[in-house]
Amino acid sequence: MASEQKPELFELNNGSMQVKITNYGATIVSLSVPDKDGNLADVVLGCDSLEPYLKGAVPFFGCIVGRVANRIKDGKFTLDGIEYQLPINKPPNSLHGGHEGFDKKNWEIVERKEGKIPSITFKYHSHDGEEGYPGDVTVTATYTLTSSTTMRLDMEALPENKPTPINLAQHTYWNLAGHSSGTILDHSIQIWASHITPVDQNTVPTGEIMPVKGTPFDFTTEKKIGSSIHEVGLGYDHNYVLDCGEEKEGLKHAARLKDPSTSRVLNLWTTAPGVQFYTANYVNGVSGKDGAVYGKHSGLCLETQGFPNAINEPKFPSIVVRPGEKYRHTMLFEFSVVE
């Protein structure tokens, strides 16, 4: 059983990139890739030891969140005529699976592969009623270094006996200049999305689908993150509705992130319909690796996902998975440097 698992740290290394992952929350603790001069740097926010993760001292750094990522309005939903009440862990809503979501569980290690294409597979069994959600669900997450500077994440979930909402997201905070290099406001980003789901004062989607054209949310062409961030309140924390454009291996191009100082680039591809673009607006004085202290905008998240509060919005793509069906969500993180 997963409860007997101890939190440990594992490394995937193919000679070009190095990733450290813990089975606690299936969490990426560090990820090092080369810059234009071949210098490796760790480009994810995190901590030197597992203790801060176990104590809940980090704001979802690097983990997989579930059973349902993002916000559920008032922590309530009705499915097949039954009303469910979830923990209100981010008043007035339920966020990222509740008080103890998948990010705060010890996952089982079911497979490890070494060699040129190293990988690790984690598994977690979520029981009926856990954090208020219906039915038993078995979840797996496999991280694979598929080429010299590419990592793939395959997430799957099988509901065993009841229909349930499922929406997993990978919550790594990226800073391509290096985790301790300051803010990401000089990074530029392109997001393959011409619409967002606008939100109310509690960051829950209103149900509308809004075009980004002519607004500070428009990243349909590459733009510096800091250029209009002051026009959107605390910063970006919005779900982008991905266009059906360029594809690779059946995945949609979600975003391209670039750091001018190191020329590092991250291209993100996904099977999910949306991506939460979050600029670490609430990160404030978090103690990180190598004595770094992470402040506001010190990283950014690109969480591909089903739409927030989709369980309560019939117009949004459904996140309900029924017994006999399988939830699948794949992400491809492709690192490179600008020539």
Q: Which residues are tagged catalytic?
A: 171, 303
State the Cα–Cα distance between residues 174 and 178, nearest whole angstrom: 8
State the Cα–Cα distance between residues 97 and 166, nearest whole angstrom: 10
State the Cα–Cα distance between residues 186 and 239, nearest whole angstrom: 21
DSSP 101-128: -GGGSBPEEEEEE-SSS-EEEEEEEEPT
Give 52's DSSP letter. H
- For residue 165, what are the β-bridge partners? 320
State the Cα–Cα distance between residues 93 and 199, nearest whole angstrom: 13
Torsion of CA 46, 50, 55, 60, to 10 degrees: 30
Give 54's DSSP letter. H
